[in-house]
Chains A and B, each alone.
Chain A
Amino acid sequence: MLPNCRARGMGRQAKLTSVGRYLVFGVFLEVVALCLLFSFRFISVGSTIMLLVFNFLFVSLIFQLNGTMNRKFVLLALGNIIGLFWNFIFSLFSAAGIAYFGSVFSVFYSVVFPFLNLMWIVSFWSLSLSALPKPQGAGEVEP
């Protein structure tokens, strides 16, 4: 009887763990969705596009690499939060610039906006790769 009880207990625990994992994924996805919503509602469509570019590249490429889904979802959510804050800060900077320099600053900001965004996307992308475990069989290339 005892092994059966233990097996049943372990099965229930596994089921709970699995449910818990999905709940965690759900929370992270919610964070991503909220970041997109906030950027669209309170910053600009441009910032939402940049977050979408980041999410697309991240999900389609980095999600295929080694590492647990939890870690990848954490990185994805973190990237979105950083992107949201980055855009928020620069939108404040832009508002201040326009108030001080006039509409000329708005043109300047439009030109540099995608490049400013690429700075955080490329940097975060690069750092994320280091946070994932190395692929099996790969090592530093040595002469």
Chain B
Amino acid sequence: MIREVLEVLFILLTGVMIVYMVRHYVFTLSVLRRAKKLGITKPATHTTYAPSVTVLIPARNEERVIERLLQRMVELTYPKDKLEVIVIDDASSDNTGKIADAYAVRHEFIRVLHRNQNVGGKGKASALNAAFKSSRGEIILCFDADYCPQKDIVEKLVREFDDAKVGVVQGRPVVLNEPQNIITRLVALERIGGYRVDQEARNSLGLTPQFGGTVGGFRRRLLEELGGFDESMLTEDTDLTFQARLKGYKVRYTGEAECYEEAVDTWKAYWRQRHRWARGHMQVCFKHTWGVLKSKKLTVKEKIDGLLLLNVYFMPVITLLSFVVGVSLIIAGSSLLDSVLWFSVAVSFYSFVGNFAPFFEVGIGAYLDGRTRIQWLAPLLLFAFLYNIPICTKAFLDIAAAKMLRASRNNWAKTSHSGNGNRYIAN
């Protein structure tokens, strides 16, 4: 009896994994076909649309990196009379506020919002809400303090809003400190798979690309309708993505709008960042699954992909579970394991790494980017995946414990930035 139950469970779990693999295979195929059709670089569409823009930069103890971003803000080619930059000094204990103030004195379009220890330090959503209230732009863009955008990135992001139905736009982060060590190289690979293929495919297939909370923006009207970011969410970006779609707004991805980010460079920092992402994503999953299912504004394919996206951080847990069940069945001598199902477990171990892109997706993404050597590290992504198993399992247990204890407070684990990316910026 137990064996039969385990066999049914194993079939169900591998079924879910096969669905995810097919999804990624379709994404990869779609991006390849598109690249063949359009050429590698998407032709730029010119527009005269130039609305007023506010750039929000939440920063907490970012003295090592904030100057790089502020300097880039000064160099932006977007008309300065239509641009407003608000730095949110979120209860920093270092010189972040002073550096930002120095820029604000020299440049009229830069403002600094200082938040003291009483009101600040409650997470990114809280900081963004505070700045949003005092912002004036029709379009709001967000950049994390460790980012270094292209000089014409505002134009590239903003032109997507020319379509009145577009509520949210996402650009592409590229790892700046990739050569630093093996962790930054693996993160770069994950980013390639996640953005060059996954996001682009979702955009071109008419699905919903995901807003990443940085290198992107949203329409002022949308956030006003929503009453600001939900501060109880750890991933306010994913929450905004689904809220926007459920309100009937479109979410767009534009790969041309590249911005260079400083990737985490230690396993400890990787754990903290991914744990926050996993926990936040699971919160959003619990919040929006039902809404996605019953929404009349989403097509069937959008609903299916939306549900798969919402549940993606459960996949390392499911893969681990299917592995444990599979091994138990092998030991019990089940004939089921002679089938192709067992192989799908193994393939899945390479299918949910980092930003949840399989090796073939990462490889094709790197190829399309013209990267000739970085994909040699693809076999090492297995270690990143193995590391993600305890991260996602812990995030799941934390969420379950919080639900049981009815605890609503989130501990915001901020990613610290070393400023090592500065040395990779070409002068």
On A, residues with C-beta under 8 Å from B are 45-46, 49-50, 53, 57, 60-61, 64-65, 107, 110-111, 114-115, 117-119, 122-123, 125-127, 129-130, 132, 134-143
Contacts and interface: CB of A to CB of B under 8 A. Distances in A.
Nearest to A136: B40
A135 B367 contact: yes
A114 B345 contact: yes
A53 B345 CA distance: 13
B411 interface: no
Contacts of A129: 363-364, 366-367, 372, 375
Contacts of A46: 343
A135 B370 CA distance: 6
B401 interface: no
Given A115-B349, A138-B368, A61 B29 contact: yes
Interface stretch (B7-15, B31-39, B231-239): B31-39
Contact of A122 (B366, B369, B378): B378
A63 to B, nearest CB: 10
Interface in B362-404: 363-364, 366-373, 375-379, 382
Contacts of A138: 40-41, 368-370
Nearest to A124: B379
B412 interface: no
Nearest to B35: A135
Contact of B32 (A64, A126, A127, A130): A64
Interface string B393-427: 00000000000000000000000000000001110
B367 A132 contact: yes
B368 A135 contact: yes
A35 to B, nearest CB: 18
Contact of A107 (B28, B258, B330, B378): B330
A114 B369 contact: no
A110 to B, nearest CB: 5
Given A122-B350, A141-B258, 18 more contacts: A45-B338, A60-B29, A64-B32, A64-B33, A64-B36, A110-B342, A111-B330, A114-B343, A118-B346, A125-B363, A126-B363, A126-B378, A130-B373, A134-B372, A135-B370, A141-B371, A143-B260, A143-B425
Nearest to B174: A141
B340 interface: yes
B300 interface: no
Contacts of B349: 115, 118
B176 interface: yes
Please tell me the size bucket of the interface on B: 35 or more
A122 B359 contact: yes
A138 B347 CA distance: 29
Contact of B343 (A49, A61, A132, A136): A49
A76 to B, nearest CB: 15
Q: Top 10 closest A-B pairs, CB basis? A: A114-B346, A138-B370, A137-B40, A126-B378, A126-B375, A143-B260, A122-B379, A122-B359, A138-B40, A134-B370
Interface of B is mostly: helix
A138 to B, nearest CB: 3
Contacts of A49: 340, 343
A50 B39 CA distance: 33
B78 interface: no
A18 B247 CA distance: 58
A46 B258 CA distance: 43
A136 B370 CA distance: 9
Contacts of A110: 330, 337, 342
Contacts of B366: 129
Nearest to A119: B379
Contacts of A127: 376
Given A65-B367, A130-B373, A137 B346 contact: no
Q: In this complex, which of B340, B345, B363, B373 has the most chain A Cβ atoms within 10 angstroms of its Cβ?
A: B363
B39 A137 contact: yes
A51 to B, nearest CB: 12
B292 interface: no
Contacts of B371: 140-141
Contacts of A135: 35, 40, 367-368, 370
A134 to B, nearest CB: 5
Contacts of A118: 346-347, 349-350
B327 interface: yes
B145 interface: no
Nearest to B362: A126
A98 to B, nearest CB: 15
14 contacts: A53-B343, A61-B29, A114-B347, A118-B349, A122-B378, A122-B382, A125-B360, A129-B366, A134-B370, A135-B367, A136-B39, A136-B40, A138-B41, A143-B425
B331 interface: yes
A140 B372 CA distance: 8
